[in-house]
Amino acid sequence: MELRALGGSGLRVSRMALGTMTWGGETDAEEAADQLVAFREAGGTLVDTADVYNDGACEEMLGTLLRDVVPREEIVLATKAVARRSEGPFGGGASRGALLTALEGSLRRLGTDHIDLWQLHAWDGSVPVEETLGAVDTALSSGKVRYVGVSNYTGWQLATAAQRQRTAGQANPIVSTQVEYSLLERGVEREVIAAAEHHGIGVLPWAPLGRGVLTGKYRSGTPSDSRGASSRYAAYVEHHRTERAARVVQAVSTAADGLGTSPLAVALAWVRDRPQVVAPVVGARDTGQLHGSLRAEEIVLPPEITSALDDISAIDFGYPERY
C-alpha cells in the first residue's frame, strides 16, 4: 500500500486507515484480529480508534491485539480524546484536566507508553482554545503523544487552532483533521479543505463510503444484516438515503460496471485521491468486507469518470466561497 506524509509532518502513513468503531461491541476479538492481520498484510499501517468507542472496550481490544497479534511498532496508532461534557470537577470535554486524564486512560487501555496520533474528537466552545491546546502541548512535550490532530472541526475552528499553534511556536503543530467526507458529504470542501491546505494539514475522511450507502447495498431495500437494519445505526445510515444520494449511487454503480470493479472501490478511490486527503478511515463488518475496501488500492479512476462523479455529486458554493 502506498504511503503518504501526514500533513506537513515527517510521519508517513498508509493511504487507507483501518477504523475500529465497532470493536469491543459488534465486532468480537477473533474478527478484529482477522481484520488487523489482513490490513497489515496489505501494507496498511494507520489504525484509528477513540476512547469513547464502546466505552473504552475498543481501545482495550486493540491494545491486546497489538501485544498478541500484530507488533505495536508496525502500527501508526491513532486515537481520539473524549469530546462529551460530563459532571465532576474537570467537566469533561476539552478542558486541561479532562484531556490529560483521558490521555492516561487511553495509554492504559491500549497498553502502550505513547500515542502516535492523538486527536481532539470535537471542538469544545465552553473551554478557551488556549487551555485545550496548552494541554496538547503538555502531551507532546511529555513524549506520551508524538503527533496531534483534530476531528469534526469546522473551517474556522481548524484555522484558529492551527494558527494558535503556529504563533505559540509549537514545534509539532496540528498535522491532521478527521471529518466526514465522501461523494455524499462534500460540505467540507467549502472551508475545511481550504483551511487544511493553507495550514499544511492532512485530511482523514471518516464514513468515506457515505455510511455504507455508496456501496449500493441499499438500492433495493435494507438488507437484514446491514447497519440500516440496526436500531442503533438506522438513523445514521438514513441520513444519506435521499433522492440526491440515489442519483450519485447510480453514477458510482455505472462507473464500477465500466471499470469491472465494485461501487465500493470506485467511491473509496474517489475520496482517497481528493486534494489534501491522506487516508480514508474504513471500517468493516467482517474481513470479507474489509478485503473489498482493500481492493480499492488497485483502482485509479480515469479523469473522465472522476469528472462525471464530481458533477453528479457537486454541492452549492455561494458567498463568500466564490466571491
Type of residue found at 271: V
Q: Say how far apart CA 182 and CA 240 lie, in whole Å.
A: 11
CA-to-CA distance for 192 and 203, rounded, in angstroms? 9
pLDDT of 104: 96
- Please state, in angstroms and rounded to a whole number, the distance separating the CA atoms of residues 111 and 133: 25
- Predicted local confidence at residue 225, as pLDDT: 75
> 262 pLDDT exceeds 80?
yes
For the segment 278-283, the average pLDDT, to the nearest whole number, is: 97
* Catalytic hit among 53, 147, 153, 181: 53
Residue whose C-alpha is closest to residue 10's, from 107, 116, 161: 116
319 Cβ contact list (under 8 Å, min separation 6): none
Percentage with pLDDT > 90 across the chain: 80
- What pLDDT, on a 0 to 100 scale, did the predictor assign at position 184? 97
pLDDT at 242: 92
Rounded to the nearest integer, the mean pLDDT of the chain is: 93
pLDDT for residue 86 is more than 70: no
Q: What is the pLDDT of residue 248?
A: 97
User: Is the previous residue joined to 280 through a cis bond, with omega within 30 degrees of 0?
Assistant: no
Give pLDDT tens digits for 136-159: 999 999 999 999 999 999 999 999
Q: According to the model, what pLDDT value does residue 85 have?
A: 62
Domains and CATH numbers, the chain: 3-209+274-298 (3.20.20.100)
How many Cα atoms occupy the beta-carbon half-sphere of 101 within 13 Å?
13
Is residue 53 among the annotated active site residues? yes
pLDDT tens per residue across span 14-27:
999 999 999 999 89
Least confident range of 71-80, 134-143, 145-154, 163-172: 163-172
148 close to 138: Cβ distance less than 8 angstroms: no
Average pLDDT over residues 47-52: 96
β-bridge mates for residue 282, sequence order: 18
Q: Give the residue-averaged pLDDT of 28-54.
A: 96
Cα gap 1→129, rounded to integer Å: 37
Give the integer Cα–Cα distance in Å for 114 and 108: 10
Higher pLDDT, 203 or 26: 203
